[in-house]
Amino acid sequence: MRLYQKAALREMTGNSGIALGALSAILIVILTVRILGDAATGEIAAEAVLPFIGFGFLHLLPVLLSVALFIGVLLTLSRYWHDNEMVIWSGAGLGPLAWVTPVLTFALPVSLLIGGLSLWLNPWASGKKNQYEQYLSSMEDVASLTPGVFTESERHNRVYFVEYIGRSDPRVKNVFIQSEQQGKLGVVVSGTGAVQTRENGDRFLVLEQGHRYEGTPGQADYKEMQFERYSFRLEPNTSVLQEGPRQRPTQELLRNPTRQNQAEWIWRMGYPISAFILAFLAIPLSVFNPRSGRSMNLLFAVLTYTVYNNIIGLSQAWIFQGKLDGTSSLLVVHGTALVILLAVFTWRFANFRMPRLR
């Protein structure tokens, strides 16, 4: 490998790594804030926070790698133009097409990694996330509670509030339960309790030393009862999450080419193909006059990336609506991107002249 190729690969790797690290940190913060908000409102269990952050990061990792690849190539070659290194390399006999080789060497393995993530690893992770959500939804009411948050049962006939739940033991403290039975509203308050499993497998929340208030809403015939032990049978949730195209393996999508499956397959294929094309598109987009600055070039590069990925999303919608099939979508979207790539190369470098050495 020649000297200029080694230098370009080293700098592209460094720039892409910095971009990937910064984007990953931003994404993790966004996911953490959103998922912690869901956990605080009781929409998900507290123990599901870290797995959901991991699943969310893994789902968006192909996008992060694609952006990092594009930024790495663009910033490296833009710096060459800004610092007039391109003039030096041109004087050494290297034309614009000489940079295709190091970009290809760098972009090909990254694009293959993106393809592996989007085509195989992400569907597997989505399936595992779906199984985990089913596991959480099958847990009993009290097992899915968040301390300090009012939570409604799946059947909407009970409202729970528990101040403390033992994670290593079945004890609960400061419990408030509102339930409706035979048209009467009941409120149970207890300082302590525990989750117990009977011989037949049924689970009960057994409260100790508490009070129950019962009556009919709108009437003043409430009754107050004091108890030493009061048991609630915990009904397991019966909701079943449906499996969609996102959780299906790529081989299954190809074997059963429905509109939904084709749309999902094209979306997965769009990640590595667009990343590969955009890496080469960064070569002509990096060209600029050092005297005029590179703000417009960077702005145009960001606009190009955004438009390209939005068109991929539109093609998925077109397939889902029956306006295109999978093969036509690949040819139209990515074929057009290749034509634009060749056109931009021609526009930038058609009049390029190698400097003459004297």
pLDDT band at 88 (very low <50, low <70, confident <90, very high): confident
Q: How many Å apart are CA 214 and CA 227, to the nearest integer?
A: 13
CA distances, 241 to each of 131, 137, 264 (Å): 9, 9, 19
Q: Give the pLDDT confidence of 230-259 residue by residue, as tens digits.
A: 887 776 655 555 667 888 888 888 888 888
Collapse the DSSP code of 146 into the 3-class scheme (helix H, G, I; strand E, B; otherwise coil) and give the result: coil
Q: What sign for the dihedral angle of Cα 297, 303, 309, 315?
A: negative
pLDDT one-digit tens code per residue, 195-222: 777 777 677 778 888 888 887 766 777 7
pLDDT for the residue numbered 339: 93
pLDDT value, residue 241: 56
Query: pTM of the predicted model, to two decimals?
Result: 0.76
DSSP string, 77-119: HHHHHHTTHHHHHHHTT--GGGGHHHHHHHHHHHHHHHHHIII
* pLDDT at res. 17: 96
Better-scored residue on pLDDT, 45 or 162: 162
Q: For residue 108, is pLDDT > 90? A: yes
Amino acid at 299: L
Q: What is the pLDDT of residues 131-141, one digit of tens each?
A: 887 766 655 55
